[in-house]
Structure 1
C-alpha cells in the first residue's frame, strides 16, 4: 500500500451494490487514466443515495413507509427549508419517490443519478486529484479505497482501439474480428480447415478462440476507448450473443463485471454499452454528437468524404455481403483486406476529425463522462446542480409525465426575404446571440420572478421578469466566453468547439420540458428579446437609408447600394462597430444593464439569390445561395444541394447553374446538354435517392412513400438509410433493380425543380430550353 497524491482523467463513473455484514452497501466506482499513463479505480462506500422534500411535508410523508426525513441546511428556489430522505441503495429511491408523488408531496433531485451526484457534490468535472492510500490492481495500475478526491484540470491522450466484425448473412456465425490501433493492424479469422492465412491475419480454430484472442488484444493494448462503426447496436451485441452461445466469459473491461448493452430507444436512437473501465464510443454517435453533418453515415460514405478512401470492395457494391461471404470461402487475402480496412477506416475517421478528443474536452466542461457528453439536458443538469450545491439550494425532480407537457414557445424571428438576385449584400450577425442575451439580461431559472410586485426593481422582458442580482447561467457564460476566445486565438479548435456546443445548448435545454429547469417564460424571454434586437437593428438600417433584404433570428442581409465590393466590405465593417455601440446605448437606457451583444460584419455577398417559396410570390425563408466576395464557389443554405434527400445529379446541376448565374455565364446550353446526356444514360450513377426510414418498413400503413416501397423490395438486411432509384416499375432498391430507370422522372422531378428558379431570374422557360434536344432525341437524330 502506498500513500499517493495523483491527477487523473475520469473515463467512467458508476456504482455497484456490495453485500456486507451491515446489509447492502452501494460503492461508487470511478475509472480513469492517470497523468503518468497508468490507470486508476476509485472505490468509495461512504456515499448514500438521497433526495429532498419540503420540511413542511415531513409530517405527511412519515406514514408512507419511507425513511425518516432529516432536517438539512438547504432550501428550495422559493427559499423554503427541506428535509433529506436517505435510502439504503439507489434502486430503493424510485419506489419511495413514487409513493410521495402519489400522496401529492413534491420531491427534489430524486432522479439524480447516484454516481453523478457523487461528482456534483465534489465539484469534479472530467478530471480530479486523488489523495489517499492505493494498492496495485489486477488490470488496473492503482486502486484507491475511500480517498479524498478534488477537482483538477488535466488533458490526456486516450488509447483508442478500433474493431469490426464480419458474420454470416443472419449475423449469427462469427467469421472474423478485425482490429486497428497504433501498432495493431490485424484480423482474427475463424477457420477450422487449417487454410494458409494471408498477411496480418491470425487463424482461430473456432469462435471461442477468436473471442479469447480479441479480449487478450484489448487487454494488452489497455484501450481507454473502444470504437468502430455501429459497434454497439451490431458488433458488440453480436459478439455478446455469440459469447453466450459458446460460453465464453467475454471480459473486455479493466475490471471484473459483465458488458451491459442498452438497446436504442426509437428507430433513430443509439444504444449504450458499458464495459468496466473502458469507454465505448461509436463512430457514428461521435460524429452526430459533434454536429458533423453527413448525407450518408455509412462507413464507406464517411470514409470517402473524410479520409479519401472507401471500403476495400472489388465486385458489385450492391451485393457487399455476398462478396464478403464469397471471399471468406474462396479468397482469404481479399476477405482479410476488406475486414482490416473497415477497422482502420473507422479509426482514421475519428482521429482525423478529433471527435474523441472533442468528447474528452466536453467532459471537462460539462462534468459528464465522455460517452454522455452529447446528452445536452444531462450536461446542463450537471453544471447547474453543481452551482446550486454551492448555494445550498435544491432543484425539482423531473417527472416522466413532464416531458409531454408543452407551453407555447416562440421561435427565432424571420423577416420575409425580398426574392431575386441582388448585388453586394452585407451579412451582419449577432455573435452567439442567445448566450449573449442570457448574459445581458440575467436570464436564469434562479433569477426568474413569476409574480413580480409593481415596486420590484426587475429586468422586464417579453417573456417575464428577472432579478438584477448576478445569477448562475450568466456567470457561467461570463466564464465560458473569454475561455472560448482564448482557445480560438491559441488555435485550439477542439476546446473552442467544445465551449461553443455547450453554450449553444443552454437555450434549447431551457425550452425542453424534459429538463428539470424547463420554463417557457425563460425560453420566450430569450427569443422575444432576440426578436426585438433584430427588429430594432432593421429599423436602424432603414433609417440610415439601406434596404434590409432578409433576416433570420440573429442575422440581417442588407443591400449595400455600393458598386465597388472592396468599398462595400470596408463600409460593412465600420457599420457593425457603429451599430453595436448604438445597441449598447439603447439597452443601457431602456433596461439599465450592460450590453453583452456584439453585431459582427460576417461577409459580403457579391451576388446573392434569395429564393421564392414554391407556388407563391413570397420569398422563401432559410433558402438562399450566394457568391462571397473573394471566393470562387457559391455557398448554399437550405437549397437542394445541401439536403440529403435529393440525388447527386440534382445537386450537381444546381451547383453549376448558380455558379454560372453568379459569374454571368450562359445556363441554357449547359442545361440542354445535361438533359440530353441524362436521357441517354450518362448520369445513371448519379440518380440514386437516399432517405432514412423513421420506423420499420412494415410499420408504414397509412401511406407508402417511395423509399418504403424500395425497402420492402430489398434483398439485403435493411439499414436506417435506403438507397433506391425510380424505375418504370416504381421505386426499387439498388440491390434489386428489376426494371429500366425512369429517366423522365429525373428530368421533371430533379433537374427541372432546381433549374426553374435560375431560369425564371433570366426570363427563360425550362421546356423551351430543353425542347429542341428532346425533339431530336425522339426523332433519333
Structure 2
C-alpha cells in the first residue's frame, strides 16, 4: 500500500519557474517535494479579443515575460451570461503583476483575475485540496478517495433528497472526514543578550543569541551560550542541555535541529525569532547556503528550507479563532503567557531580573518553558489546534502557512475563488460588483456601520422565574441559504425577480438560479447543525465523537463570519446589499417569531440577535412555536437554555440567570472583567453565589436582603481603610517597553516607572519587562496611582474604589431594586431588621 501524503503547502520556485507541492509523508514523517508536471504558467484574463490586443496593446506582446494567448469561455455571474475571454499567459508571476511594467498594469481596466497569488491560482487550476491525503502515481499526486462513515452518510441521506445536492453534501463530507495526520513538529524559541530595557532589533541583530530552546514529542532541550568561566550545573526534566563556547556553532546546531523536522512552530517567529537568527547568522559569517531561513518579502513571513514554518502568534490573534473556536477564553492573544494561561492553565516562568542577567540555570528554565508552551498550544486536547488547522485548510483551500497567518476573510475569499474556478466562473473585479450592486437602503444605528445591524429587544429590569431561551440555529447562515443570498443573486439583472423583495430593504433576490454563497454556506451549515453536531452527541465511539466535534467547531468558525465579509470594504467580493439583506432577514426572523409567540400567549422578555427569552411557556405551546417557525421561515428554532430565574438590568446584553443545572450564567456584567480588583470581584462573586442558592421567590427575597448587607459592609470596610492593598490592586500587563510610552502615560505605566525606581533604590538591577504584570492601586497622590510595592493603605483613594464598586454592581443592583446611594449613605433595611 502506498503511503498517504498530506498536502501542506504549495510554493512558486523561481529557480525552475515551477509551482512545487509539499506533502507530509505519514510513514517517514518527512516532507516530499513534488514539482508541477503540467506546465502550468501564470495568467490573467481580459475582455479584449486577440486582434484587439494586438492592435491596441502591442506592449503585451513585446513584454519579456509574455508567453501566449488563448481564448476561453467563462460564466459572468453578475450578468448571468457565458462569454469568451482572452487568457494572457506569462512565463513568471511578476510578469503578470507586482511591478509597474507588468502585463496587469499595461491592461489596466481590462484585466481580471490578475491579483490572485500564483500559488493560489495553481491550487485552483490543479484541483488541489490542501490538508487532504494523496498518493503519488508516476510522480503525479492523486487524491485518496475517502469513505464517509455510515452514520454520517445516513444523516446526510435523511437530510437531502435531491440527487445533485446529495452528491455535493457527500463530497464535502469526504473532505471533512478524511483522516488527519499527526504532524511531527518542533517548537523553537530564542533568547538574546540585550541590556535591561532594550528590545533586540531583528534587522540589526547586534546582540548575541544566548539560548535556543526546542521542544517536541521526541526531544527537548536548550542550546546555551557559555558567558562566564563558571561551569553551570544544568538539569531540567530530561532535557538536553548543550553548552557552546562559540555562538556561531550554537546557531549551526539550532539550524540542524530545525531542518530535521518537517514542521517548525514559533510564537511571533515571523517578527522576531527567525529574522533575528537569519541576520545574526549572516553577521557571524555564515554563508547564505548554510542558513535555512529565508525571508519572503511578498508574503511577509519567514520560511525554512525543507520545512514548514507556522507562526502561532498570528493564528491565535485571529479574532475568529479566539471568539468561535476558543470561546473568548483570552482577550487578544498577543502574548504567549496570555494564551497559554487561558488554554493550558500554565504560563511563562516569572522573573524579576533581565534575561541577560539570568543565571544559566534560570535561563534554561525560562527559555525551555517558552518552547514547551508553544508546542503544547498545538498538542493539548488531543492535538485540537493542529486538527482545526488541517480542517480549515481543506475548507478554505489555503496552504498551511497562509491559513495560519491570515484572517477569516482571506479564508472565505479563497474558498469562493476556488469554487469559481471549479465551475468555470469569472472571478469578478470589485469595481464591477460595486457598479452593479453597491448600495444600501437602511440607516445604521452604530457609528461607523453602513447599514442597520442585528436587533436587540430591551428587557424590563427585574427578576423572572421559569425562563426558556429559544435560539435560531446559525441564523445568518440559515437566511443566506433560505433566501438564496449571494453577490450575484441579490439585485440580479432579471426584471421578473424584482418582486422577490427582502423585507425591510429595497433589495430583491434572484429566483432563476441558485447563488454560489447560498449553496456553499447552506451545505456547510446543514452539515454542522444536522450532521456533525448530531454525530458528536450520538456516536458510541469516543474517538468518532471527538472527531465530529472538531469538524463542527471548524465549520462554526467559517459560518459565523460568512455574512460579515460581504460588508467589509477590504473583501474583494464586497457587496453591501448582501450583508444588509442578511441582517435585515435576521431582524425579520426574530420579529416574526416574537409576534407569533405573543399571538400564542407566550410573553417575550428579551431578544438579542438570534435568540428570544420566553417567560414560563407551556411545553405544548413551545413545541407548536418551534414547528410554526420551521414551517414559515424554514429556520430551525430550538431550546438553547432553561433558567430557574433570570435577572435583567436596564442595559442591553446584560443579565444574570440560574440555569436548571444550577450553573450561574452571566452575560455582559462588568464584575466578570479581568481587571476588576479582587476585593470588588470577590464581592460580585459572593453576590452571585448567594443568588445561585435561591430556588424560589421566598429564597430569592432572602438573598436580596443578604446582598444589601454584603454591599453595605463592603463600602464601610473601604471607608475605614480595612481592605488590604493586594485586594485593591489593578493588574495590567506591560505590552511594550517603558521608553516607548512618550505621547500618553497609562496608569499601569506610571506604576511601572515607580516600581523601577523602587527596585533601583533597593539595589535590584534589571528593567520592568514587556509582559510583566504591573499591580497598582488608585491613590490621592499627583499621579493618581501607586505600585502596590510602594503604596500605603492610608493613601488609597476610597472614593474612586466606591465608584468602581458602584459601576461594577450597578447593573445587577438595579435589577434587584437595590439603591447603591442608599447603601452608601447608610440606609440598610432588611426583612430581619423589620421584624
1:601 maps to what in 2? 639
2:26 paired residue among 28, 35, 39: 35
The SS at the match of 1:622 is: coil
1:182 paired residue among 203, 217, 236: 217
1:363 maps to what in 2? 393
1:480 aligns with 2:524: yes
C-alpha distance after superposition, 1:664-712 (max 9, x if no partner): 33113333444455533425255224379799996885x7654576688
8 Å contact from structure 1 (residues 641, 650) kept in 2: yes
5 Å-filtered alignment, 1:482-631, equals 482-484=526-528, 485-488=530-533, 489-490=535-536, 491=545, 492=547, 493-560=549-616, 571=619, 574-587=620-633, 595=634, 597-612=635-650, 620-631=651-662
2:336 maps to what in 1? 299
CA distance in 2, matches of 1:281, 1:733: 41
CA distance in 2, matches of 1:400, 1:745: 59
C-alpha distance after superposition, 1:172-214 (max 9, x if no partner): 3322112211132221110054513411421111321221121
Unaligned runs of 5+ residues in structure 1 are 19-24, 134-143, 265-270, 562-567, 588-594, 613-619, 774-781
CA distance in 2, matches of 1:129, 1:155: 12
1:565 maps to what in 2? none
Q: Shift in Å at residue 477 of structure 1?
A: 3.3
Describe the shift of the 1:99–1:131 C-alpha distance in structure 2 as closer, same or farther (beyond 3 A): closer
2:127 maps to what in 1? 123
8 Å contact from structure 1 (residues 464, 522) kept in 2: no
Q: Shift in Å at residue 642 of structure 1?
A: 4.2
CA distance in 2, matches of 1:731, 1:27: 63
1:469 aligns with 2:513: yes
Larger CA deviation: 707-716 vs 410-419: 707-716
8 Å contact from structure 1 (residues 131, 148) kept in 2: yes
Q: Shift in Å at residue 442 of structure 1?
A: 1.4
The SS at the match of 2:653 is: strand
C-alpha distance after superposition, 1:333-365 (max 9, x if no partner): 333222222222332233225212211121122
1:308 paired residue among 321, 332, 345: 345
C-alpha distance after superposition, 1:734-761 (max 9, x if no partner): 5996787634255234222112333344
Give the paired residue count.
Answer: 705
8 Å contact from structure 1 (residues 31, 42) kept in 2: yes
The SS at the match of 1:421 is: strand
8 Å contact from structure 1 (residues 511, 520) kept in 2: yes
CA distance in 2, matches of 1:510, 1:560: 39
Higher strand share: 1
8 Å contact from structure 1 (residues 53, 105) kept in 2: no
8 Å contact from structure 2 (residues 60, 106) kept in 1: no
1:413 paired residue among 435, 455, 469: 455
1:87 aligns with 2:126: no
1:214 aligns with 2:219: no
2:188 paired residue among 163, 166, 186: 163
Unaligned runs of 5+ residues in structure 2 are 62-67, 146-177, 201-206, 441-449, 537-544, 695-699, 757-766, 828-835
* TM-score (structure 2 length as normaliser): 0.76
Describe the shift of the 1:429–1:388 C-alpha distance in structure 2 as closer, same or farther (beyond 3 A): same
1:13 maps to what in 2? 10
CA distance in 2, matches of 1:695, 1:558: 51
8 Å contact from structure 2 (residues 71, 85) kept in 1: yes
Q: Shift in Å at residue 75 of structure 1?
A: 3.4
The SS at the match of 1:581 is: helix
2:281 maps to what in 1? 243
Describe the shift of the 1:734–1:190 C-alpha distance in structure 2 as closer, same or farther (beyond 3 A): farther
Larger CA deviation: 759-768 vs 688-697: 688-697
C-alpha distance after superposition, 1:98-118 (max 9, x if no partner): 876787624221111101111
CA distance in 2, matches of 1:61, 1:541: 67
5 Å-filtered alignment, 1:308-327, equals 308-313=345-350, 317=351, 319=352, 321-322=353-354, 324-327=355-358
Larger CA deviation: 106-115 vs 635-644: 635-644
1:66 maps to what in 2? 60
8 Å contact from structure 1 (residues 640, 651) kept in 2: no
Describe the shift of the 1:746–1:341 C-alpha distance in structure 2 as closer, same or farther (beyond 3 A): farther
Q: Shift in Å at residue 532 of structure 1?
A: 0.7
5 Å-filtered alignment, 1:321-336, equals 321-322=353-354, 324-328=355-359, 332-336=360-364
Q: Shift in Å at residue 429 of structure 1?
A: 0.9
2:417 maps to what in 1? 385
The SS at the match of 1:175 is: strand
Q: Shift in Å at residue 455 of structure 1?
A: 6.9
2:148 maps to what in 1? none
8 Å contact from structure 1 (residues 658, 758) kept in 2: no
Describe the shift of the 1:115–1:47 C-alpha distance in structure 2 as closer, same or farther (beyond 3 A): same
8 Å contact from structure 1 (residues 8, 154) kept in 2: no
1:730 aligns with 2:779: no
2:232 maps to what in 1? 196
C-alpha distance after superposition, 1:258-292 (max 9, x if no partner): 4226699xxxxxx7432234333334433343223
8 Å contact from structure 1 (residues 120, 382) kept in 2: no
8 Å contact from structure 1 (residues 434, 507) kept in 2: yes
8 Å contact from structure 1 (residues 175, 189) kept in 2: yes
C-alpha distance after superposition, 1:415-441 (max 9, x if no partner): 222223222221111001111111111
Larger CA deviation: 643-652 vs 75-84: 643-652
C-alpha distance after superposition, 1:498-527 (max 9, x if no partner): 111122221122222222222111111211
The SS at the match of 1:108 is: coil
Q: Shift in Å at residue 451 of structure 1?
A: 4.2
C-alpha distance after superposition, 1:215-245 (max 9, x if no partner): 222333x242423x33332322332332222
Describe the shift of the 1:685–1:180 C-alpha distance in structure 2 as closer, same or farther (beyond 3 A): farther
Describe the shift of the 1:576–1:521 C-alpha distance in structure 2 as closer, same or farther (beyond 3 A): farther
Q: Shift in Å at residue 714 of structure 1?
A: 8.2
8 Å contact from structure 1 (residues 377, 515) kept in 2: yes
The SS at the match of 2:562 is: helix
CA distance in 2, matches of 1:151, 1:733: 64
Describe the shift of the 1:300–1:629 C-alpha distance in structure 2 as closer, same or farther (beyond 3 A): same
1:776 maps to what in 2? none
8 Å contact from structure 2 (residues 725, 788) kept in 1: no
CA distance in 2, matches of 1:519, 1:54: 22
8 Å contact from structure 1 (residues 458, 468) kept in 2: no
2:42 paired residue among 46, 49, 60: 49
8 Å contact from structure 1 (residues 128, 150) kept in 2: yes
Describe the shift of the 1:154–1:757 C-alpha distance in structure 2 as closer, same or farther (beyond 3 A): closer
8 Å contact from structure 2 (residues 216, 375) kept in 1: yes
C-alpha distance after superposition, 1:439-495 (max 9, x if no partner): 111112233343441477857554332234333233323432454344332422221
CA distance in 2, matches of 1:304, 1:474: 39
C-alpha distance after superposition, 1:32-68 (max 9, x if no partner): 2023244311112712111112146972685342246
Q: Shift in Å at residue 764 of structure 1?
A: 3.7
C-alpha distance after superposition, 1:524-563 (max 9, x if no partner): 12111111111011111111222222111111112226xx
2:489 paired residue among 437, 447, 453: 447
Larger CA deviation: 637-646 vs 603-612: 637-646
Q: Shift in Å at residue 608 of structure 1?
A: 1.5
